[in-house]
Amino acid sequence: MFNRTASVIFLLGLGVLAGCGFDMPSRELDKASLPTVVTCTKALYISSDDVVEEGGDPELDPTVLDSVRADGRDWPVSVPFVSDRTATCGQQRCRRSGIVPRSSEVATAPSDAYPSIGESLPFAVWQEEFGGNVKVEYPRAKGIGLYGVVLRGVVGVAPMEDRVVSSLAPWSSFSAPGAGIAVTADSSGGAVLMVAYSLGGTLAAAQTALDRSERAVYWERRPGSLLFGDLSGFRQSSCGESVGDSAGSQVAGEQVRFPRAELGLVCPGLRSADAAPGQDWPEGAQDGAWMILYPVQGAGVFEFVDERSSGRGFKGKVEAVKGRVLTVPFGMRYSFSTEDRWPLQVVRLVVR
């Protein structure tokens, strides 16, 4: 009896040592099972980290501001809050027939600019909130692209044409030319920052065509490759640094057009009129582009001055609030200030 008990204890001890002594490797996407999908950055993984609760920002010596790093240790694991542009599916399965939520479904309409500068956005941006195991479907539409950044939870993205599901963790992204995808949250729910954009012409015209006849804009062959990415590889780590183009490599034989995204910093005192290239706008931005800023950590005040020839002379100050989307047209001047001198951490996208 003693020998049998000793043997059991010995085997259990080996199991504990084995479990404590070795880390399970991250599970990469099975690329062979995704024949229609192009991964433009490193393989994605499912994170089991806990959500970071909101709290005060750390103290910062302003004399070393330029050397401050906002790397993975400081960046939130995910976003625990909602946006003023949040749309929610109240059932287990919803179908957004117009792709973009209706103005009545969100506090701030997806096509409204903020700050209000007297013109509508050429795209639509909102936060899609998912309850546990909720699925939202977006129909196929030739003239509309859909871009998303996972803010919270693990979600599955499946193209309508083959239903192969790819699991995406927070700070992962996807680009779906022609829309035509289903997004499903796991049992814990989730949130995705969504951008609908035009593949040619205007988004308003493409939405009108979809509303008139879904069959007329239906596609059999997707008008571009479905792309997945991991924005943690496109993270601005210090003030004055540019992270480059998050679109990754071009897809052979295709003209890739979709928003570019990064995890960026907005640094105190930065003025876009005299900033070095790449400091306040990602490289390659040009006239006609817009920048989306989604604050995830930090606080401060933006001051905007619209001196564009096509603008309406807007001048004003706007408080940076976590989850409140700001939209800035290319050429608009702005500065950012904060009492604690800590850079504002944002999801930054450039849309044309």
> Tokens standing for 85?
């542009």
Query: Given pLDDT bands bounded at 50, 70 and 90, which one contains residue 23?
Result: very low
> Tokens standing for 190?
């989730």
The predicted structure's pLDDT at residue 242: 59
| Contact assessment for residue 247 and residue 256, using Cβ atoms and an 8 Å cutoff | yes
Mean pLDDT of the chain, nearest integer: 77
The predicted structure's pLDDT at residue 272: 58
Sorted by where each starts, the structural domains of the chain and their CATH numbers stand as: 72-351 (2.60.120.10)
The predicted structure's pLDDT at residue 72: 36
Query: Given pLDDT bands bounded at 50, 70 and 90, which one contains residue 18?
Result: very low
Which carries the bigger pLDDT value, residue 119 or residue 207?
A: 207
Select from 207, 227, 226 the least CA-distant residue to 110.
207
Whether 276 shows a pLDDT value over 60: the answer reads: no
Lowest mean pLDDT among 166-170, 177-181, 208-212, 240-244: 240-244
316 phi and psi angles, rounded to 5 deg: 175, 170
| Contact assessment for residue 308 and residue 332, using Cβ atoms and an 8 Å cutoff | yes
Query: Given pLDDT bands bounded at 50, 70 and 90, which one contains residue 282?
Result: low
Whether 251 shows a pLDDT value over 60: the answer reads: no
The predicted structure's pLDDT at residue 309: 73
| Residue 14, Cβ density class (10 Å: 0-12 exposed, 13-18 middle, ≥19 buried) | exposed
Query: Given pLDDT bands bounded at 50, 70 and 90, which one contains residue 273?
Result: low
**Residue range 134-154, pLDDT digits in tens:** 999 999 999 999 999 999 999
Which carries the bigger pLDDT value, residue 155 or residue 61?
A: 155
Provide the percentage of residues in the chain whose pLDDT is more than 70: 68
Query: Given pLDDT bands bounded at 50, 70 and 90, which one contains residue 118?
Result: confident
232 phi and psi angles, rounded to 5 deg: -65, -20
Q: Supply the DSSP symbol for 100.
A: S
Q: Which pTM does this prediction carry?
A: 0.76
**Residue range 157-206, pLDDT digits in tens:** 999 999 899 999 999 999 999 999 999 999 999 999 999 999 989 999 99
